[in-house]
Structure 1
Amino acid sequence: MQPQTHYVIVAFETSLVPVPDFNLPAPYTCEVRQYERTSLDQIPERIRDADIVTLSILPLRAEVLDAAVSPRLKMVAVVASGTDSIDKEACRSRGIVVSNTPHCNARSVAEHTIALYFDARRSLTLTHSLIRTGQWIERKGLAKSLAGPDGKPPRTCQSETVGIVGYGAVGKTIESIAKNLGMKTLISGRKGQPTAEGRTPFDTVIRESSVIILCLPQNPDTVNLISEPEFKAMKSYAIVINVSRAGVMSEEALVAALKARNIAGAAVDVHSKEPAGPGDSPLFAPDTAELNLIATPHTAWVAENTNLNYQNSLIENIRSWLIMGHPKFQVV
Structure 2
Amino acid sequence: MAPPSSPTEHHLVVLQGDFVRTPEFELPAPHTLIKTIYGQTSLAELHARIYDASIVVICALRLDAETLSPEVTPYLRMIMVVAAGTDCVDLDACRKRGIVVSNCPAVNTEAVSEHALGLYFSARRRILRMHTLTRAGDWPRKKTLMFDCLNHDGTPPMTCEEEVAGIIGNGAVGKRIASLARGLGMKVIVAERKQPGDPSTLSHPSGDQERLPFETVLRQSTVLFLAVPLAPNTRNLLSTAEFDIMSPHAVLVNVSRGGVVDEEALVKALKANQITGAATDVFEKEPAGPENSPLLAEGTEDLNLVLTPHLAWATQRTLINSERKFKETVEKWCVGELMNVVT
TM-score with structure 1 length normalisation? 0.96
- 1:141 Cα offset (Å): 2.4
SS in structure 2 of the partner of residue 111 of structure 1: helix
C-alpha distance in structure 2 between counterparts of 1:136 and 1:207, whole Å:
36
Length, aligned pairs only: 330
* Aligned partners of 2:26 and 2:331 also within 8 Å: no
C-alpha distance in structure 1 between counterparts of 2:111 and 2:227, whole Å:
13
Of 261, 269, 273, the match for 2:273: 261
* Aligned partners of 1:100 and 1:329 also within 8 Å: yes
Q: What does residue 195 of structure 1 align with? A: 202
- 1:4 Cα offset (Å): 2.0
C-alpha distance in structure 2 between counterparts of 1:26 and 1:72, whole Å:
21
* Aligned partners of 2:8 and 2:334 also within 8 Å: no
- 1:308 Cα offset (Å): 0.9
Q: Which amino acid aligns with 2:224?
A: I
Answering whether residue 309 of structure 2 is matched by residue 308 of structure 1, we say no
Of 216, 224, 245, the match for 1:212: 224
C-alpha distance in structure 1 between counterparts of 2:110 and 2:103, whole Å:
17
C-alpha distance in structure 2 between counterparts of 1:190 and 1:27, whole Å:
48
After TM superposition, the structure 1 stretch with the greater mean CA deviation from structure 2, 88-97 or 126-135, is: 126-135
Q: What does residue 58 of structure 1 align with? A: 61
SS in structure 2 of the partner of residue 312 of structure 1: helix
- 1:284 Cα offset (Å): 1.5
Answering whether residue 28 of structure 2 is matched by residue 25 of structure 1, we say yes
* Aligned partners of 2:16 and 2:38 also within 8 Å: yes
* Aligned partners of 1:241 and 1:267 also within 8 Å: yes
Q: What does residue 176 of structure 2 align with? A: 173
C-alpha distance in structure 2 between counterparts of 1:24 and 1:105, whole Å:
27
C-alpha distance in structure 2 between counterparts of 1:35 and 1:203, whole Å:
45
1:87-166 equivalence runs, <5 A: 87-166=90-169
SS in structure 2 of the partner of residue 275 of structure 1: coil
Structure 2: any 5+ residue segments left out of the alignment? 205-209
* Aligned partners of 2:14 and 2:57 also within 8 Å: yes
Q: Which amino acid aligns with 2:296?
A: F
Q: What does residue 70 of structure 2 align with? A: 67
What value does the CA root-mean-square deviation take over the aligned residues? Answer: 1.4
- 1:142 Cα offset (Å): 1.9
Structure 1: any 5+ residue segments left out of the alignment? none
1:260-299 equivalence runs, <5 A: 260-299=272-311
Q: What does residue 207 of structure 2 align with? A: none
SS in structure 2 of the partner of residue 212 of structure 1: strand
C-alpha distance in structure 1 between counterparts of 2:176 and 2:275, whole Å:
25
- 1:148 Cα offset (Å): 1.7
SS in structure 2 of the partner of residue 151 of structure 1: coil
SS in structure 1 of the partner of residue 60 of structure 2: coil
Q: Which amino acid aligns with 1:209?
A: S
TM-score with structure 2 length normalisation? 0.93
Q: What does residue 330 of structure 1 align with? A: 341
C-alpha distance in structure 2 between counterparts of 1:256 and 1:134, whole Å:
31
Q: Output one character per residue of 1:77-125: Cα deviation in whole Å (capped at 9) or x when no partner.
A: 0001000000011111011000000000000001100111111110001
C-alpha distance in structure 1 between counterparts of 2:122 and 2:8, whole Å:
52
* Aligned partners of 2:17 and 2:39 also within 8 Å: yes
* Aligned partners of 2:108 and 2:318 also within 8 Å: yes
Of 48, 57, 82, the match for 2:85: 82
SS in structure 1 of the partner of residue 329 of structure 2: helix
Q: What does residue 319 of structure 1 align with? A: 331
Q: Which amino acid aligns with 2:285?
A: K
- 1:282 Cα offset (Å): 1.4
- 1:171 Cα offset (Å): 0.6
Answering whether residue 264 of structure 2 is matched by residue 252 of structure 1, we say yes
* Aligned partners of 1:149 and 1:262 also within 8 Å: no
C-alpha distance in structure 1 between counterparts of 2:137 and 2:291, whole Å:
26
Q: Output one character per residue of 1:279-310: Cα deviation in whole Å (capped at 9) or x when no partner.
A: 22111123111111100000000110101111
SS in structure 1 of the partner of residue 48 of structure 2: helix
- 1:18 Cα offset (Å): 1.9
Q: What does residue 227 of structure 1 align with? A: 239
Q: Which amino acid aligns with 2:264?
A: E
SS in structure 2 of the partner of residue 324 of structure 1: coil
Q: Which amino acid aligns with 2:280?
A: V
- 1:133 Cα offset (Å): 4.3
Q: Which amino acid aligns with 2:323?
A: Q
C-alpha distance in structure 2 between counterparts of 1:303 and 1:270, whole Å:
17
C-alpha distance in structure 1 between counterparts of 2:248 and 2:140, whole Å:
29
